[in-house]
Amino acid sequence: QVQLVESGGGVVQAGGSLRLSCAASGLTFSTKVMAWFRQAPGKEREFVAAISTSGDTTYYADSVKGRSTISRDNAKNTVNLLMNSLKPEDTAVYHCAARSWSYSGSADGYRYWGQGTQVTVSS
């Protein structure tokens, strides 16, 4: 049974930082592209960042590029997202997702999903 469990969300003031973590189990982690998506109330789920199976290549949405860093530890089956200079528009539920081998920026391309962790940025 595949499980993706996110942690690290919370309430932070604008300009602050948060580090989100996702712990994966029940899958061959090193063969999975890992990604973060977010969904704000009344909005579509949107791509935030992704990382290749080896961790050598990363992808970011324009909205978070330069403020965020995605990383993974294949020995620990974890993927992290460090977000700096947070803005109120970053407020959303952040989901971890996994797909086999190749990158996709579309939510439809990911087979496995976590339940999400709430990030709230106050102005």
Dist. CA 84–CA 33, nearest whole Å: 23
**Are the beta carbons of 6 and 22 closer than 8 angstroms?**
yes
**Are the beta carbons of 52 and 105 closer than 8 angstroms?**
no
Dist. CA 86–CA 96, nearest whole Å: 19
Q: In whole numbers, what is the pLDDT of the chain averaged over residues?
A: 97
Dist. CA 99–CA 93, nearest whole Å: 20
Residue with tokens 């949107």: 46
pLDDT tens figures, 56-111? 999 999 999 999 999 999 999 999 999 999 999 999 999 999 999 898 899 999 99
User: What does the pLDDT read at residue 101?
Assistant: 82
Provide the β-strand partners of residue 59. Answer: 50
pLDDT tens figures, 91-106? 999 999 999 989 889 9
CA angle 104, 109, 113 (to 5 degrees): 110
Give me 55's structure tokens.
């961790």
Cα-Cα end-to-end distance for the chain: 40
